[in-house]
Amino acid sequence: MKRYEGMVYSQARKAFLTKEEAEDFTQDVFLKAYESLSQFRGEAQFSTWLFQIAKFHITKVNKKKSHIQADWTEDVATVPDNSKPSTVEVLDKEETHHILHSLICKLPKSYQLPIRLHYFENKPLKEIANDLNIKLGTIKSHISRGKELLRKWWSHEIEG
């Protein structure tokens, strides 16, 4: 757990507003991984498998939160209060994160994981290549192509 805790926690910090939520989520992911350990086939690195569990559960939690936040956002918008700009900023940041996450999920699978590992886990390209057993040049190419698609989709999302 100590070896992979930082990886899971850093994902949780990006997905949740508070440190406590991120810590609770990190514990939940390790509990889910422990409960599912018999399903780990060793076809991928353990870190990749654990990352997928965390990703799945973040998506699941965000779907639940988005329904609650939609109602809450409407209520907040109708109440005049001087503290609302910071609340709106928090919601904007969360919405931006949600849009980016959904765009990354649309990428081909071969682009998704290298981008997540490099930009969200801060893993060096060589380490990603070793972990995924893919040539370094291929990893660089996948990240470059994935970023290009994200730029294109992002501009469409913002303009559209």
- List of residues 6+ apart from 100 with CB closer than 8 A: 150, 154
pLDDT classification of 58: cutoffs 50, 70, 90: confident
Residue-wise pLDDT tens digits, 100-129: 888 888 899 899 889 888 888 788 999 999
Return the percentage of the chain with pLDDT > 90, whole number. Answer: 14
Rounded to the nearest integer, the mean pLDDT of the chain is 77
Does residue 37 surpass a pLDDT of 50? yes
> Which residues have C-beta within 8 Å of that of residue 63, sequence separation ≥ 6?
none
Q: Where on the phi/psi map is residue 63: left (φ > 0), alpha (ψ -120 to 50), or beta?
A: alpha
Supply the pTM of this predicted model.
0.46
Q: pLDDT digit string (tens) for 70-103?
A: 444 444 444 444 444 455 555 566 677 777 888 8
Q: Which domains are present in the chain?
A: 1-84 (1.10.1740.10), 107-160 (1.10.10.10)
Tokens of 147: 């970023």
pLDDT at 76: 42
